[in-house]
Structure 1
Amino acid sequence: MLPKLQSSRHTPKMTTQEPTILFEDDYLLAAYKPEGWLVHRSEIDRHEKRVLLQYLRDLCGSFLYPIHRLDKPTSGVIIFAKISEIAAQVQQQLESDLSSKKYIAVCRGYSPEEGVIDYALPPVADFKHQRKRPKTDLPRQQAVTLYRRLETIELPYEVDRYPTSRYSLVEIQLKTGRRHQIRRHFKHIHHPLIGCPKYGKSTHNRFFANRLECSRLLLHASELKLEHPVSGSQLKIQCEIQGSFLQLIQRFKWQP
């Protein structure tokens, strides 16, 4: 039986979240990044005042070096270093098989139960001088994404061309770290992520925003595993889903 959803005629709820520290020692700091926050200041989004790097520097009282990034609409685990040499070591590790990054996402349709997306991607052209170059001039880079389906739901709403609409909750593991890799790869396999304006589908994005009160990109960095660059111990840093994404999972009675 298809689940019945209450009609929503009011303005979607806004959730205010702040970054929190998940792990800290003399060398590293890992934190939860809420959706809508920049990791560091960028000319692409110069008016955004919510900048994670500056916020965490003020919070911990230490200079921090970025190691990797999460896109502005993505939430979850991110790690920084307090020493430049440590940042370089961890960055190199994150580009190897010595570490792993897991994500949780919602995509359109019933995805395969599991799979590997091995599809090379050209660099994302963010700046005007890059966009002027022909796409054929942008060399493709190897990109590999692993995924498995956790949950599914079928809703009694004609969002697109079918009388009902299907969605999947998936766990994703990156083997490479290309810009927008997850969103581009799931578009490639015809299961675009919900809430993505660039690689998703606007009809489904509007449905989730207006009827389900969830207007964000449904992509969350849930776990980061790596070897501590000084002690050699294994770090496993996890971060629970929060805000409207969590409310949606609870509404669907999913178990991520």
Structure 2
Amino acid sequence: MNILYQDDYFFAIDKPAGFFVHPPEFSPYPVPKEKICLHVLRESMKREVFPVHRLDAPTTGVLLWTTSRDATRELSRLFMDRNMEKTYHAVVRGVVDTEGIIDLPLEFDDVPVEACTTYKRLKVAELPYAVGKKYPTARYSWVEVRPVTGRWHQIRRHFDRIAHPLLGDIEHGDSHHNRFFRDTLEIRGLCLKATSIEFVHPWTKQNVKIEAPSCDKWTRIEKLFNEYSFTP
């Protein structure tokens, strides 16, 4: 796992797809230790480390960790006070508005809780393929997303609620378009990446912005959107 930032208080990694942050509580199948970030990092760094927040197993990108419980509490407080600006990139089905706010409650333990996500459309692509029976072409949007709250599967569930599910989302997405991306375009997995996180360092008081580098998958996505770009 690549370390993107490190100081005396915390560090950030570029989490690969398929890795759990810590052992899942309700997984229907056993997860090997080699696929658990907590285990891998403790083994490689030979010390205790603590996750500050979570990313879903199929999501890639910036993930914060600390090396002490005190530091964990400080950074967790920034999350609770909404002083962490998290930015994601995602590919969704269809053409979304140029920008928008999804302010829809999401269920947690069967109870609706506040949930808010903002987004901005970056690019749109139209491919000459009929995916499903409704349209002769397939349209997709590349969006920049900023979650205001931090609920379970928030980005994935919110875009599904507005009929623009994320590509590669096997739980909340569109199986026809997921299959098209996987089998025809050979772009596999969830198209969701935590691209950056920005906040004021609790100890130095300096602004910190940590960014995830590009990777082969998102380079291919960019090429796809450039090749099939269109103006809605």
Q: State whether TM-score is above 0.5.
A: yes
Indicate the SS of the match to 1:122.
strand
Aligned pairs, number: 224
Indicate the SS of the match to 2:39.
helix
Letter in 2 for 1:71: D
User: Structure 1 vs Structure 2: percent identity of aligned residues?
Assistant: 38
The structural deviation recorded for 1:25 is 1.2
Matched, 1:43 2:21: no
The structural deviation recorded for 1:184 is 0.4
Letter in 2 for 1:211: T
1:126-159 Cα deviation digits (max 9, x unpaired): xxxxxxxxxxxx2211001000000000000000
Give the counterpart of 2:220 among 219, 222, 247: 247
1:246 and 1:212 mapped to 2: Cα distance? 13
User: Where does the alignment leave 5 or more consecutive residues of structure 1 unmatched?
Assistant: 1-18, 126-137
1:80-103 Cα deviation digits (max 9, x unpaired): 111101101111101223221000
2:219 and 2:151 mapped to 1: Cα distance? 26
Letter in 1 for 2:212: C
Residue 177 of structure 1: aligned partner: 150
Letter in 2 for 1:43: E
2:216 and 2:40 mapped to 1: Cα distance? 20
Give the counterpart of 1:62 among 33, 47, 51: 47
Q: How does 1:1-256 map to 2 (within 5 A)?
A: 19-45=1-27, 46-48=30-32, 49-123=34-108, 138-160=110-132, 161-253=134-226
Q: TM-score, normalised by structure 1?
A: 0.83
User: Where does the alignment leave 5 or more consecutive residues of structure 2 unmatched?
Assistant: none
Higher mean alpha-carbon deviation, 209-218 vs 53-62, is at: 53-62
Q: TM-score, normalised by structure 2?
A: 0.92
1:56 and 1:199 mapped to 2: Cα distance? 30
Deviation above 3 Å: which 4+ runs of structure 1? none
More RCO (CA 8 Å, sep 6+): 1
Q: Which of the pair is proportionally richer in strand?
A: 2
Residue 5 of structure 1: aligned partner: none
The root-mean-square deviation of aligned C-alpha atoms, in Å, is 1.6
The structural deviation recorded for 1:55 is 1.7
Letter in 1 for 2:13: A
1:18-42 Cα deviation digits (max 9, x unpaired): x200011111010100111111112
Mapped contact 1:103–1:221 kept (Cα < 8 A): yes
1:164-221 Cα deviation digits (max 9, x unpaired): 0100000000110000000000011111000001110000000000001012100000
Indicate the SS of the match to 2:113.
coil
Mapped contact 1:104–1:170 kept (Cα < 8 A): yes
